Amino acid sequence: MITRAALALALTFGLLVATLDARAQQPAKIPRVGILFFGFPASPSEPAPLGRAFVEGLRNLGWVEGRNVMFEWRYAEGKTDRYPALAAELVALKVDVIVASSTPAAVAVKQATNTIPVVMVAVSDPVGSGLVGSLARPSGNMTGLSLLAPALSAVLWNTANAGMKLRFTETEAASRTLGVRIESVGVQGLDDFENAFASIVKLRPDALIVLADTVTVTHRRRTIDFAVANRLPTIYEMREFADDGGLMSYGISMPDHFRHAATYVDRILKGARPAELPVEQPTKFEFVVNLKTAKTLGLTIPQSILVRADEIIQ
């Protein structure tokens, strides 16, 4: 005969098992990654090539969109002044980690949150920009990848980008050591390019170096066309310029850079704190020469330079 106490115990145990079973059947929370990107999407449903490299990096680490991770994309479309509002949107969504793909993007995110983990990508000088305390010990909620390549800074550059200002200062110092005179020509948006080009024509330089950032990369076609039309030898920081018809490029491999950023997101989603992850600097650079453009400009690239190229575009 079942006593009243035994019945009560059985019912209590049954309720406990049912509760545990219901909890076990509840789907696990899928983490969301916010990406604050400097350019445009490839299409409404497809991220830009560098964005695809980042997604590919996460996929290689086992993170598949829709299965165990979700993405929230925000595109600045080459407009630096859009970053603060876009950063605020991602913070309001309470994403689990934010990827900031330039110095202005990282600055905007830093101003928007000090709690959500942030992975910086393509940031010129995170220490000088005040984003982290040091590379080895980032402190706070930010870490990621630094460009730190002041020797590659350009004459044509975005004067609204704090990271570019630091790099241009370094370039000026280097030019004095080399006995080379440089002229600064700044742009901050699409409307500034025509005046910048007019200034370059007036200066009549022997060559042009173009710094890669949100503005210059997004509108690279304009600079490439200008340089070719004016038969101006130009070197760019990203191979995308050379792929699109620029004379030559020397800089880090940006697809590899964005792909490697996925390792930081992976570790953070698995529990690591940004302050525990040192900021990494690039160690691999690539030199690309576009011989088709050289021919258009009437230039003969010395063999001593061609043998150093990682890739030659015929």
Q: So what's the pLDDT on residue 222?
A: 95
Q: So what's the pLDDT on residue 4?
A: 57
Could you read off the pLDDT of 75-124 as tens digits, one per residue? 999 888 999 999 999 999 999 999 999 999 999 999 999 999 999 998 98
Long-range contacts of 204-207 (CB under 8 A, 24+ apart): 205/155, 205/232, 206/233, 207/232, 207/233, 207/234, 207/235
Per DSSP (E only), the strands in the chain are: 32-37, 70-75, 97-100, 118-123, 142-146, 156-158, 185-187, 208-210, 234-236, 248-252, 285-290, 311-313
pLDDT band at 148 (very low <50, low <70, confident <90, very high): low
Distance CA 287, CA 241 (A): 12
pLDDT band at 14 (very low <50, low <70, confident <90, very high): low
Averaged pLDDT, 195-216: 90
pTM of model > 0.85: no
Could you read off the pLDDT of 262-289 as tens digits, one per residue? 999 999 999 999 999 999 988 788 999 9
Dihedral sign from CA coordinates of 127, 130, 132, 134: positive
Q: So what's the pLDDT on residue 7?
A: 44
Q: So what's the pLDDT on residue 155?
A: 65
pLDDT band at 258 (very low <50, low <70, confident <90, very high): very high
Q: Which residue has the tokens 């570019």?
A: 164
Nearest to 48 by CA among 238, 312, 304: 238
Q: Mind giving me the DSSP string for 19-48?
A: HHHHHHHSPPPPPEEEEEESS--SBTTB--
Q: So what's the pLDDT on residue 26?
A: 55
Q: So what's the pLDDT on residue 28?
A: 75
Q: So what's the pLDDT on residue 27?
A: 61
Name which CATH class applies to 32-147+254-282.
alpha beta
Q: Give φ, ψ of 72 to 5 degrees.
A: -120, 105
Strand partners, 99: 35, 119
Strand partners, 252: 285
Percentage of the chain exceeding pLDDT 90: 63
CATH number of 150-252+286-313: 3.40.50.2300
Averaged pLDDT, 42-46: 89
Q: So what's the pLDDT on residue 21?
A: 52
Q: Which residue has the tokens 């789907």?
A: 27
Is 131:109 a contact under the CB 8 Å cutoff?
A: no
Q: Residue ranges of the domains in the chain?
A: 32-147+254-282, 150-252+286-313
pLDDT over 70 (residue 25): no
pLDDT over 70 (residue 1): no
Instruction: Establish whether domains 32-147+254-282 and 150-252+286-313 are of one fold.
Output: yes
Percentage of the chain exceeding pLDDT 70: 87
Total number of residues shown for the chain: 314
Average model confidence (pLDDT) for the chain? 87
